[in-house]
A and B are shown apart, each in its own frame.
Chain A
Amino acid sequence: MKTLLRTGALAGALSLAAGAASAAGPIEAGSIQPTNWNAIIIFVAFVIVTLGITYWAARHTRTTKDFYAAGGGITGFQNGLAIAGDYMSAASFLGITALVYTGGYYGLIYSIGFLVGWPFIMFLMAEPLRNLGRFTFADVASYRLQATPIRAMAATGTLVTVAFYLIAQMVGAGQLIELLFGLPYLWAVVVVGILMIIYVTFGGMIATTWVQIIKAGLLLGGSTLMALLVLAQFGFDFNALIAKAIEVHPGHDKILLPGPAVSNPINAFSLGIALMFGTAGLPHILMRFFTVGNAKEARKSVFWATTFIGYFYILTFIIGFGAIVLVLTNPAYHVGGDVTKALLGGGNMPAIHLAQAVGGDLMKGFIAAVAFATILAVVSGLTLSGASAVSHDLYASVFKGGYADEGAEVRVSRITTIILGIVAILLGIVFEKINVAFMVGLAFAVAASANFPVLLLSMLWQGLTTRGAVIGGFVGVISAVVLTIVSPGIWEAVLGYPKGSAWFPYVSPALFTMPLSFLCCWIFSVTDSSKTAQTEKAAFEAQYVRSQTGIGADTAVAH
């Protein structure tokens, strides 16, 4: 059991933000579940409704602004729900519940790390981001710097982050759906890919946002119901729930401890940095700030997002403890009806089995359908942000020098979406067996080490020059990728080198790579005495006034 706990904890490290279905344990071969008709019917209903929305959205999607930013007409509350939707992926739900299920308190440490990035974004980044940007975070970073190198760097950071996240989601989706619906892996990946292409290509940001909002509502509703059903079994006494969990869990009182994965302070802090600042550098999240009309709505978005996400994480903690009591001890949910053996369907299934335990087949079907919808929505958001990096940053700004025809740019975006969708399906098939944990770890580490430092400094520090930003950004991307590869998660677990041979012994590189990126941005900016550097520093004043007041920013909503 101890080894099981440790494997679960380490493999689960960082895998939770995305659709990391295999994070908390191996998926048992041959444990594919019978076709779940409740789940399929509920999911089909979701697809029909969202395709209807896509049809409606397609008729309102003409300009680049419609396509990337939903015309800027999303309200703060709606956007807050959509951000929460982007953030509460299937694995936040399944993965964190699974972590609480195996490691107890450990799961809560993750939840908190994922949440505290939000207040930080609010206090220092949300307003200037909205006031300076139009469609992508590269708009902000290149506002006074040279567009070509900065956008190339930002597009690299975006595509690397999106690619790793997307692979994790596709692989996670395939495995999850295979287990939940009894559909073959290949089908599952193709279904996700095709639906996502339809949403994004035809409906752009408008459809993506509404898919996200509906899914967030379903997920919040479903989790609330589950938490209430769990608590009801204990007379709504949280203490009684914990007492029972301690009694039945093989770790007993140990489940109240932080757990082995964070016992090393460097691991604890590195993970903390990756979770907190990674959030502030995720391109598909940053993009959402441009869908609202002004800074005021951007602030409201962050407030609602923080509220929903925080509430959701409290629910997952209750659900996880509920699973310890109701799933861990029930032979019906274990391989061969033996509670000492693995869970049916693998380590990420506690929440699904719990749904069955507290609400029967219908509840299980509902929760399974919500999990599928969740992956679909997150994948759509990711793809849209990847497509915008190609069409808006690379095509329109770098290749066309900012003079691309709007219709052509949207066309490039749509074509890119289709290509990304096909690539995502192929990657999902190729990487079927890969450990998704490292992909998501990489995504968060790159976001925290490349996108975040450049974005923050470009908005707040007058001294940043193109040279500093480009070098700092690329150093962040490369160092985060390289250190992740030589960390135990890949070097030993994926590449198969002997235990202890990894050059970089920690779970996340962010503690080292994020400061390194900041340092490079700083050094190569202050030593940059070129003429363009002078101009760029001089242009900060006007940028700052706009970032503070919004004067000159798009007034988003059509008048």
Chain B
Amino acid sequence: MDDSTLRRIEADPNYQKLVSERKSFGWTLAITILILYYGYIAIVAFAPDLIATKVAGDITIGIIMGVALILLSILLTGIYVMRANGEYDDLTNAIVNAAKIGGKK
């Protein structure tokens, strides 16, 4: 990528929008999963009895939390993919096309 193309892309408002939105969205979700998981590990380490507390018959808080974490992992990746494959890819295509047109002069 030559220098002028680089400058042009960086000046593209679509590019700035893509980068800032994806960055904040990606980090928000990443921090969410880190907090959820290490929160869970903290409960495992510091409050094991809570894990074994029964809530419905013999089903415990721990089992519910565990299954919920698995489902949330799938859900969060799904949410990210939906947004990225729609919104972010539209922006990316616009940026790529603009860069191509600009490149021909």
- A interface list, Cβ under 8 A from B: 105, 108-109, 111-113, 115-116, 118-120, 122-124, 127, 238-239, 242-243, 246, 253, 256-258, 262-265, 268-269, 272, 276, 295-296, 299-300, 302-303, 306-307, 310, 313-314, 317, 541-542, 545-546, 548-552
Contact with A along B1-41 (1 / 0, CB 8 A): 10000100110000100110010001101100110111011
Q: Per a CB cutoff under 8 Å, which of B9, B27, B57, B76 touches A549? A: B9
Interface residues of B in 23-65 (CB under 8 A from A): 26-27, 29-30, 33-34, 36-38, 40-42, 44-46, 48-49, 51-52, 54, 56-60, 62-63
Residues of B within 8 A of A116 (CB): 33, 36-37, 69, 73
Instruction: Assess whether A303 is in contact with B22, with CB atoms less than 8 Å apart.
Output: no
Residues of B within 8 A of A242 (CB): 57-59, 63
Expressed in whole angstroms, the minimum distance between the Cβ of B88 and any Cβ of chain A is: 9
Expressed in whole angstroms, the minimum distance between the Cβ of B40 and any Cβ of chain A is: 7
Expressed in whole angstroms, the minimum distance between the Cβ of A276 and any Cβ of chain B is: 7
Roughly how many angstroms separate A170 CA and B96 CA in the complex, as a whole number? Answer: 47
Q: Per a CB cutoff under 8 Å, which of A119, A122, A243, A272 touches B57? A: A243
- B interface list, Cβ under 8 A from A: 1, 6, 9-10, 15, 18-19, 22, 26-27, 29-30, 33-34, 36-38, 40-42, 44-46, 48-49, 51-52, 54, 56-60, 62-63, 66-67, 69-71, 73-74, 76-78, 80-81, 84-85, 89, 92, 95-96, 99
Interchain Cβ contacts within 8 Å, total number = 160
Instruction: Assess whether A550 is in contact with B92, with CB atoms less than 8 Å apart.
Output: yes
Residues of B within 8 A of A109 (CB): 44, 66
A-B contact pairs, 28 of them (CB 8 A): A111-B70, A113-B37, A116-B33, A118-B77, A119-B33, A119-B80, A123-B29, A239-B59, A242-B59, A256-B60, A258-B44, A258-B45, A258-B62, A265-B45, A272-B38, A295-B92, A296-B84, A299-B85, A302-B77, A306-B73, A307-B74, A310-B71, A310-B74, A313-B70, A314-B67, A545-B1, A545-B15, A548-B19
Q: Contacts A541-B6, A548-B18, A551-B99 known; A299 to B51 CB distance under 8 Å?
A: no
Instruction: Assess whether B48 is in contact with A272, with CB atoms less than 8 Å apart.
Output: no
Q: Contacts A545-B6, A546-B1 known; A258 to B51 CB distance under 8 Å?
A: yes
Q: Which of B44, B51, B81, B95 counts the most chain A CB atoms within 10 A?
A: B44
Instruction: Assess whether B18 is in contact with A303, with CB atoms less than 8 Å apart.
Output: no
Instruction: Assess whether B52 is in contact with A256, with CB atoms less than 8 Å apart.
Output: yes
Roughly how many angstroms separate A266 CA and B18 CA in the complex, as a whole number? Answer: 39
Expressed in whole angstroms, the minimum distance between the Cβ of B75 and any Cβ of chain A is: 9
Instruction: Assess whether B70 is in contact with A256, with CB atoms less than 8 Å apart.
Output: no
Roughly how many angstroms separate A295 CA and B27 CA in the complex, as a whole number? Answer: 18
Q: Contacts A122-B77, A272-B38 known; A264 to B45 CB distance under 8 Å?
A: yes
The residue of chain A having its C-beta at the shortest distance from the C-beta of B67 within the complex is A314
Residues of A within 8 A of B99 (CB): 549, 551
9 pairs of A and B residues whose beta carbons are closest in the complex? A265-B45, A268-B45, A239-B57, A256-B52, A123-B30, A242-B58, A123-B26, A310-B70, A272-B41
Expressed in whole angstroms, the minimum distance between the Cβ of A302 and any Cβ of chain B is: 6
Q: Contacts A262-B44, A548-B15 known; A299 to B92 CB distance under 8 Å?
A: no
Roughly how many angstroms separate A38 CA and B85 CA in the complex, as a whole number? Answer: 45
Q: Per a CB cutoff under 8 Å, which of B37, B51, B92 touches A276? A: B37
Instruction: Assess whether B85 is in contact with A300, with CB atoms less than 8 Å apart.
Output: yes
